[in-house]
A and B are shown apart, each in its own frame.
Chain A
């Protein structure tokens, strides 16, 4: 098996290296073949691995590939841990990546840096594999930063756009803030567990439980919160979410792959991987849950006022990541992973559908200038409809099962604040349905608001774009129904995830669960369903039925509208406090302290002091013998006088 795992990880790397170094030499066709073949190999083998581990119950694989560093008894290696959790992630990542690779052929058709783009997305796939396959914290951090690097390169892919290079810089820095916490967490893991290997760390959890640091803080809690700060960066949780909307500056395929389906879920994956540790800290779980709830609700609200098609989907991604984080907080790790999976499919689908629209409209992204695309782009329309229904949790669709499970898990949670969080996630359902359908109606229904020229040229996108849409629509429709039972209640993830006995959310859910089919009729009697219906109806009224009402509401609630449109002021705050503040601090330290105080005063000052002494003494050094003779005589006189009359034992008494 080890060879298979290695091939899964390395096949995209080979593709990336090939496309990166020789792509421009060998042309687009060769680049396509090599990179797509690489990812295809990974996808097929991932499915094989999934079958072996998850369906046939093969033993987890945990071995080191090579020793990265050995110091005394401390071994830091590069190695693979392949269990059911990894297997699920491998299938998601490789499948979405494959779809995005195919989609890119059409989407980036006219781009001069076509081969470079393929190189980057293959490199990303490799990095993501390394992240999910890791069996230790060092490699996890490597994958963590490597996906961040590729994200940086891809957000700034259209480097002539100032907004793109602003956004990628911001994305990297905000992620680094998260990574700062993450790295400290890793350092504390090493300090208290003496190892960076997952298995060894989890095996010695008992020795560290109850140990405190810094005047009484529980070590486990501190570690968990620091690790979670890393997750907040990567999975864009408030207040480290500010980079994700900006990341939409990148080409749409990567918004789908990196900033919706895979990389941003790395934080969710990581916390699930660390479930044995998080389960030991109630405090950390509460933090996770509350941060998730804030993100789920407040980021969703921002989706309502966005008019850029990609921004709407981006805020919806933030909100859904919030849902997953909430699930982690209430110890429903399997529900989080379940939602991660369904979300990967339907959100990738939505982004790619948005991309299809953007290409058809010659890079128009403003939904106010769209409308009536249903007839002209039927495949995009129907697949986007499936994606939207999955997102809002329409009964039967993939997102319905996963989101409902999260809401129910919160409902059963006994953590403090769980009631409030429950309100937030229920309200989130209405908001999700509202902004999703608002966008959907504005884009596909109603009157066309395009100019004549654009409107006459709109046509359905090419095969390489529609094919992935269809391929992603199928799981968006059906995967929830087929996998909810085994994934949540029948043991797919049981070995990989630890849930403490007193965290009973999932156990209670299990008792309530009577099959995927019966959830649909049952849903009709529940609040979330009617919240969703309300959301759809409101969206329909405001975008299609009575559009003037929307304008009226905007006027009436202009203050709220202002708060939402200024994105709660996070960007302004960061700009004033961090960007401007740090620059002034830097200038102060440089000009006042470094070159002023140290260099000018002390260093050059001492040089000047020496010069000054020199200038005082210099007049004496005239070079005339009679001057020197005069000084000698005077000096001799003084010394003689002193020796004769003063001193301890004067020779002559006065």
Chain B
């Protein structure tokens, strides 16, 4: 095994997490510094995935394979392609942010908090790089545990309810996935995900497997109508938990559609694509209206996340109708738009939750009505908040525009009415985001507490600045992101369009 980069990325943060637990909560400062150093180190290492990535092939890169449970033909098999590589870097990037964001705020069990995020980082990288279904499943389920603890230990007043709801919801979904993975093992004799891509399945088998996968991934994304765990989880989770949840854990669902549903069950995906599209459109439109009337900022952003993730599933499943023989651009726009949307949403939702976190740390309220006129006491912070709000509303020049633009262009080609409904986010998205901005940031100060707010400190400023740069850079020049995924996505499109029947 000459290349163990991925293993390093998975196990370094996990062992560092264990080490941080051993340091203990009493020596919080040491624990914090070790955590942040690890997360930065992991991020730097993950960048070499990008620099050494060969974007001219769809084949798996940085592959590692050793036998794990030989009786059942289970391997410790890792590798990345243009779909998983960007998501891994997004993970390592976001982890730094949440660790720095939790620096002062978390006073109860700080070492455990940091450790939970480090371990979660490793587990999620494991999810994105596993090429063996059992390994994937193990990481998938294991990653729930740190998040459960983060919500349950460091959460708000109703944290236990939210944590259990989160756990049961997602756990229920993934059990179905496990069943279909085992079914395919019985049929094909291998747990290799790539082998499953080539496994021939009848229409009925595909339908069953498709829906089993669908439940698992839809809960994670989350799609309407299995989304109701998300607002509760976000509201109760500490800021860092919300950031990781929105920026990365939701992407595990989107990733599942790319890695499992499309290539393993192409015919069922085609057959049921309209159902998925309609659910996505409901998420975009209906959830947009629900977001509009929220009074709790975190809930509003949580609903906005559901709406934005609707673009991911829309982009993925619009491909069948958007594809025209000889002109794959429309379908590619949808698929790549979905990927871009996932990454962009990672930045923007992280930024939005951090923005709320900054306010919450000061006044301990998430209610919109507590605020008003924040610009007067926090002008710099307001500058960032407005930028991220605009990105959330899909303003061109920010990353939020790119994914939505691509998916809408693709959706219109699938069916003009899909495009019309998806495009309505231009109005509704702007309405709920800017209405919140108006009530929180603009206007005269009504609550005397707002007057006493201190503007961003250096730590908060640097976190938001990094995200701002990411959001604007990706908005102005998305091509580098497209480059790394393009060949992989083309291959995926072929898989999705090649019938297994």
Contact = CB atoms under 8 A, between A and B. Distances in A.
A132 to B, nearest CB: 16
A68 B479 contact: yes
Contacts of B431: 173, 176, 582
Contact of B419 (A162, A187, A590): A187
Contact of B479 (A69, A161, A583): A69
Given A159-B443, A160-B373, A172 B434 contact: yes
A180 B479 contact: no
Interface string A586-611: 11011001110011001100010000
- SS class, residues of chain A in contact with chain B: helix
6 contacts: A138-B396, A159-B443, A187-B419, A190-B413, A586-B289, A595-B228
Interface stretch (A142-150, A275-283, A364-372): A142-150
Chain B contact residues: over half helix, strand or loop, or mixed? helix
Interface string B37-54: 000000000000000000
A460 interface: no
Contacts of B293: 583, 586-587, 590
Nearest to B481: A69
Nearest to A152: B434
A168 B375 CA distance: 15
Contacts of A191: 330, 409, 412-413
Given A138-B405, A184-B420, 18 more contacts: A69-B402, A70-B479, A71-B333, A73-B327, A142-B396, A142-B397, A144-B396, A149-B395, A169-B438, A172-B430, A183-B423, A187-B412, A187-B419, A187-B423, A190-B412, A583-B293, A586-B289, A607-B168
Contacts of B477: 66, 68
Contacts of A176: 426-427, 430-431
B430 A71 contact: no
B396 A586 contact: no
Residue among B327, B386, B409, B423 with the most chain A CB within 10 A? B409
Name the residue among A177, A582, A595 with the largest chain B CB count within 10 angstroms: A582
Interface string A524-541: 000000000000000000
Contacts of B291: 586
Interface string B398-414: 00011001101100110
Interface string A74-109: 100000000000000000000000000000000000
A602 B376 CA distance: 45
Interface in A451-494: none
A156 interface: yes
B189 interface: no
A191 B411 CA distance: 10
Given A71-B336, A160-B373, A191-B330, A184 B427 contact: no
A144 B426 CA distance: 14
Interface of B: 165, 168-169, 225, 228-229, 286, 289-294, 327-330, 332-333, 336, 373, 375-376, 386, 390, 395-397, 401-402, 405-406, 408-409, 412-413, 416, 419-420, 423-424, 426-427, 430-431, 434-435, 438, 441-444, 477-479, 482, 486, 490
A586 B292 contact: yes
Contacts of A593: 286
B313 to A, nearest CB: 18
Interface in A134-174: 138, 141-142, 144-146, 149, 152-153, 156, 159-162, 165-166, 168-169, 172-173
Nearest to B444: A160
A511 B462 CA distance: 66
A585 interface: yes
A446 interface: no
A377 interface: no
B390 A149 contact: yes
Given A172-B434, A176-B430, A603-B228, A71 B423 contact: no
A69 B442 contact: no
B443 A71 contact: no
Given A71-B329, A176-B430, A582 B289 contact: yes
Nearest to B161: A604
B442 A589 contact: no
Nearest to B337: A71
Q: Nearest 4 A-B pairs (CB), nearest first?
A: A586-B293, A187-B412, A165-B442, A142-B396
Contacts of B225: 598, 602
A188 interface: yes
A73 B329 CA distance: 7
Contacts of B336: 71
Nearest to A24: B379
Contacts, number: 143
Given A68-B478, A71-B486, A179 B426 contact: yes
B126 to A, nearest CB: 29
A567 B406 CA distance: 39
Contacts of B373: 159-160
Contacts of B329: 71-74, 194
B228 A599 contact: yes
Contact of B327 (A142, A153, A183, A194): A194
Contacts of A183: 405, 408, 423, 426
B290 A74 contact: no
Contact of B442 (A141, A146, A156, A590): A156
A501 interface: no
Contacts of B168: 607
Nearest to A20: B383
Contact of A165 (B332, B390, B395, B443): B443
A593 B409 CA distance: 30
A69 B482 contact: yes
A593 B333 CA distance: 33
Nearest to B332: A71
Contacts of A146: 395-397
A184 B292 CA distance: 23
A594 B438 CA distance: 25
Given A68-B479, A69-B479, A188-B412, A594 B444 contact: no
A160 B445 CA distance: 8
Contacts of A66: 477
Contacts of A184: 408, 412, 416, 419-420, 423
B376 A160 contact: yes
Contacts of B486: 71
Nearest to B402: A69
A141 B397 CA distance: 10
Best-surrounded residue of A190, A587, A593 (most CB of chain B within 10 A): A190
A214 interface: yes
A67 interface: yes
B426 to A, nearest CB: 5
Contacts of A617: none
A78 to B, nearest CB: 8
Nearest to A162: B443
Contacts of B409: 186-187, 190-191
Nearest to B432: A586
Contact of A213 (B416, B441, B442, B490): B416
A146 B329 CA distance: 27
B333 A74 contact: yes
A589 B431 CA distance: 16
B290 A586 contact: yes
B402 to A, nearest CB: 8
Contacts of A190: 409, 412-413
A186 B413 CA distance: 12
A315 B436 CA distance: 30
Contacts of A159: 373, 375, 441-443
Contacts of B402: 69
Interface string A179-216: 11001101110110010000000000000000001100
Contacts of A138: 396, 405
Contact of B292 (A149, A187, A583): A583
Interface string A112-126: 000000000000000
Contacts of B490: 72
Given A71-B332, A191-B413, A583-B293, A169 B444 contact: no
